[in-house]
């Protein structure tokens, strides 16, 4: 009985903690106001450099290029820079074909092995850029014609040093990709909510903007350049530490950048291992503690479910935990999916919520041990 009581207290503590965390996420999301620009496209005056690191993207890159050159933004204030990261396909050739439309190509020529080619590519591009505001996206992304104008209007009005903007999946095929889309919206909403709470923790480099001067003031990628991932989140943490209250999230659907879910489970696992790998390098230990406690809550549910096969008491505890998890996560996701105009995805929520437990437990271990494949390279 004493063992059962101890288990009950542990599960209760983790459950209450998780409730408070999700309530904090909901609060942070609500603190973010929907943004309506006060400036017209003719009034914005910031010189912008859009930077895209690309590797073996010949199947997607032309659409991204088309969207960027079609931006409703003064061409005299816009610089588009692509960095070809040792592509072995036609990526460089396709980028070069857009030279007459103002697209600049930089070829990364690093002869010695690096653990983070992407950070090196972005760093080189920033050094050669002319813009005062750096905007990064990925070579397989799509964006509307007013995407850049929306970001710059937000920047000029709010005077933020760094701006995180929404990313979403689109054109999903089947349950697996749609499930990823719902889970990804949860992650984007989570990152936005932490900014809303003035405690920035996550963002996505596929839709990120920051002042070039601020990039150099925080030392750029120095101190995090040995990590394969983290050109977005780890830079966010450096910015947040120096510029308290100067990080913003752009809550406007015209600012959304669209990309694709992973087609296979293997690719999905490799991507999430990469994302999780940088977590132990966070300077803000409170974020690490938060992540560990969330992971422990999911571990506790998983262990109780398995133990419930042999002892009914554990199964009852697991059911209570599941109900808590699903209820509060649904409250959070309801508004996030509403913003993204993807509430139809919520029909997948019960299944995704259950699968999410196994995924969190596994990635929490796998993402912080060993190597993973990224763009045909093994990194750690």
Do 191 and 183 contact (CB within 8 A), yes or no? Answer: no
Do 278 and 233 contact (CB within 8 A), yes or no? Answer: yes
Tokens of 28: 């942070």
Backbone angles phi, psi at 54, to 5 degrees: -130, 140
- Other Cβ atoms within 10 Å of 380 Cβ, number: 12
Q: No. of H helices and E strands in the chain?
A: 12, 12
Do 177 and 268 contact (CB within 8 A), yes or no? Answer: no
The predicted structure's pLDDT at residue 171: 93
Task: Tell me the sheet residues that pair with 372.
Answer: 379
The predicted structure's pLDDT at residue 364: 84
The whole-angstrom distance between residue 307's C-alpha and the CA centroid of its chain comes to: 35
The predicted structure's pLDDT at residue 272: 86
The predicted structure's pLDDT at residue 29: 97
Task: Tell me the sheet residues that pair with 167.
Answer: 257
Do the bridges between strand 78-84 and strand 48-54 make them parallel or antiparallel, or are there none, so unpaired? parallel
DSSP state of 209: E
Q: Residues 130, 131, 132, 136: what is their CA dihedral angle, to the nearest 10 degrees?
A: -130
CA distance 230 to 278: 6
> 258: part of which helix (H) or strand (E)?
strand 257-259
Q: pTM for this one?
A: 0.91
- Other Cβ atoms within 10 Å of 263 Cβ, number: 13
Spans in the chain with pLDDT lower than 50: 1
Tokens of 303: 């262990």
Give tens-digit pLDDT for 114-164. 667 888 899 999 999 999 999 999 999 999 999 999 999 999 999 999 999
Do 137 and 143 contact (CB within 8 A), yes or no? Answer: yes
> 25: part of which helix (H) or strand (E)?
helix 2-31
Tell me the domains of the chain and their CATH numbers: 2-28+284-368 (no CATH), 33-281 (3.90.550.10)
Nearest to 189 by CA among 321, 373, 22: 22
Q: What angle do CA 264, 192, 328 make, to 5 degrees?
A: 80
- Other Cβ atoms within 10 Å of 38 Cβ, number: 9
């Amino acid at each position: 009985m004493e063992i059962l009581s101890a288990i009950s207290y542990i599960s209760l503590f983790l459950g209450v903690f998780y409730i408070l965390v999700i309530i904090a996420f909901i609060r942070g999301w609500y603190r973010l106001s929907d943004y309506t620009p006060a400036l017209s496209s003719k009034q914005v005056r910031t010189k912008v450099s859009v930077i895209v690191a690309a590797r073996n993207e010949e199947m997607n890159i032309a659409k991204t290029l088309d969207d960027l050159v079609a931006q409703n933004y003064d061409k005299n204030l816009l610089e588009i820079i692509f960095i070809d990261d040792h592509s072995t396909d036609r990526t460089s050739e396709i980028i070069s074909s857009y030279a007459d439309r103002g697209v600049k190509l930089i070829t990364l020529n690093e002869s010695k092995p690096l653990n983070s080619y992407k950070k090196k590519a972005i760093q080189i591009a920033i050094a050669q850029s002319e813009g005062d505001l750096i905007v990064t996206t990925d070579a397989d992304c799509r964006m509307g014609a007013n995407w850049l104008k929306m970001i710059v209007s937000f920047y000029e009005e709010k005077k933020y040093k760094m701006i995180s903007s929404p990313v979403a999946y689109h054109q999903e095929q089947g349950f697996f990709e749609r499930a990823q889309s719902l889970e990804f919206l949860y992650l984007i909403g989570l990152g936005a909510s932490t900014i809303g709470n003035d405690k920035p923790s996550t963002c996505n480099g596929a839709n990120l903007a920051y002042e070039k001067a601020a990039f150099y003031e925080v030392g750029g990628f120095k101190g995090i350049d040995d990590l394969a991932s983290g050109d977005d989140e780890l830079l966010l943490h450096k910015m947040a530490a120096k510029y308290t209250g100067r990080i913003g999230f752009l809550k406007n659907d015209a600012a959304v950048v669209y990309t694709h879910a992973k087609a296979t489970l293997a690719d999905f696992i490799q991507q999430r291992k990469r994302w999780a790998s940088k977590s132990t390098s966070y300077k803000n230990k409170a974020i690490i503690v938060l992540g560990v406690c969330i992971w422990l809550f999911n571990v506790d549910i998983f262990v109780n479910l398995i133990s419930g096969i042999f002892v009914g008491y554990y199964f009852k505890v697991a059911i209570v935990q599941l109900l808590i998890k699903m209820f509060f996560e649904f409250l959070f996701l309801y508004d996030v999916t509403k913003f993204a105009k993807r509430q139809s995805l919520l029909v997948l929520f019960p299944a995704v919520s259950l699968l999410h437990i196994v995924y969190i437990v596994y990635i929490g271990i796998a993402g912080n041990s060993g190597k993973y494949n990224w763009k045909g390279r093994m990194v750690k």
